[in-house]
């Protein structure tokens, strides 16, 4: 195991994902110190008073220069902008990792902006944990316990850097998987991005059709379960759909084909086809808890 207790962690973007990591690391005394930076001064003072970090500062250069590990947790389209801001101050032994939901954008930004030495310390990642809540007040030190973290190191990344980031995540109770970034983006398009699109779309469609949203008074548990994620942050999801549009369109198109077949089965009352689809889905769904 790697020793992190003499290192400084800098979290940039003190919202749900960054704030939760900072808080969990601080409470478990994983690092020597934890610094925080966020776009708004108010977020930084909240992070300090909520006990998420040891210090905040608006002097990004000073924070980056002394950081051993930097965790970027800003919306995905802001990640390349922040990477460009910190790049001039990165030491060659500073590890840069992130929690962004789409890895292609982050990998591309790293390859464009970082030097060869900095790329050795570059470990893109994505925690498969979260919620429909956002912002600094949503930070939760238990968020990552028993959740999976996917790391997507590139060819240039040194194994030692992956080890440090893995150790950080394991220390806050998470499990770490390693995956190629493009495979990650395809998998998450299917398991996360498509379901969010369907939830946003369904709630929006019904709300347009129903005066005063009266229809939702009659929504039962199934509707609530299915649409919880439609309360997610619009900016974050706007970024994800732009960043991962290619993989999303691929899975969306095959979904639409299947939905169309089901529509036709309903139109002609093809009960056999419907039963077949529902049965297959039931078995697949019962396969995971």
How far is the C-alpha of 249 from the C-alpha of 252, rounded, in Å?
Answer: 5
Q: What is the nearest approach in angstroms of ligand NAD to the Cβ of residue 112?
A: 17
Q: Which residue is nearest to ligand NAD (CB)?
A: 15
Q: What is the nearest approach in angstroms of ligand NAD to the Cβ of residue 243?
A: 9
Interface residues toward ligand NAD, by CB under 6 A: 12-18, 38-40, 43, 73-76, 78, 81-82, 99-101, 126-127, 130-131, 134-136, 233, 236, 240
Nearer to ligand NAD, 13 or 153 (CB): 13
Nearer to ligand NAD, 18 or 104 (CB): 18
- Residue 151: how many CA atoms within 13 Å on its side-chain side? 27
Q: What is the nearest approach in angstroms of ligand NAD to the Cβ of residue 72?
A: 8
Nearer to ligand NAD, 18 or 153 (CB): 18
Nearer to ligand NAD, 16 or 165 (CB): 16
Q: What is the nearest approach in angstroms of ligand NAD to the Cβ of residue 41?
A: 10
Nearer to ligand NAD, 56 or 203 (CB): 56
Nearer to ligand NAD, 16 or 24 (CB): 16
Q: What is the nearest approach in angstroms of ligand NAD to the Cβ of residue 81?
A: 6
């Amino acid at each position: 195991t790697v020793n992190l207790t003499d290192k400084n962690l800098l979290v940039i973007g003190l919202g749900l994902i960054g704030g939760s990591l900072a808080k969990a690391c601080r409470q478990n005394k994983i690092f020597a110190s934890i610094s925080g930076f966020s776009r708004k001064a108010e977020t930084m003072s909240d992070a300090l008073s909520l006990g998420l970090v040891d210090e905040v500062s608006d002097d990004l250069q000073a924070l980056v220069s002394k950081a051993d590990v930097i965790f970027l947790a800003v919306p995905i389209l802001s990640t390349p902008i922040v990477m460009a801001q910190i790049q001039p101050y990165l030491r060659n032994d500073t590890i840069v990792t992130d929690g962004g939901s789409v890895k292609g954008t982050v990998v591309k930004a790293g390859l464009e902006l970082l030097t060869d030495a900095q790329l050795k310390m570059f470990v893109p990642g994505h925690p498969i944990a979260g919620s429909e809540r956002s912002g600094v007040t949503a930070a939760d030190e238990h968020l990552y316990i028993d959740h999976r973290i996917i790391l997507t190191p590139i060819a240039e990344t040194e194994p030692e850097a992956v080890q440090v980031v893995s150790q950080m995540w394991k220390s806050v109770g998470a499990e770490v998987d390693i995956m190629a970034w493009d495979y990650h983006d395809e998998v998450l398009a299917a398991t996360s991005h498509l379901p969010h699109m369907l939830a946003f779309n369904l709630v929006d469609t019904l709300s347009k059709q129903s005066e005063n949203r009266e229809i939702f008074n009659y929504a039962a548990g199934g509707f609530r379960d299915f649409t919880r994620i439609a309360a997610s942050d619009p900016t974050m999801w706007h970024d994800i759909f732009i960043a991962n549009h290619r993989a999303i369109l691929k899975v969306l198109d095959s979904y639409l084909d299947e939905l169309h077949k089901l529509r036709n089965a309903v139109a002609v009352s093809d009960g056999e086809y419907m039963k077949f689809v529902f049965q297959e889905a039931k078995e697949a769904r019962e396969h995971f808890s």
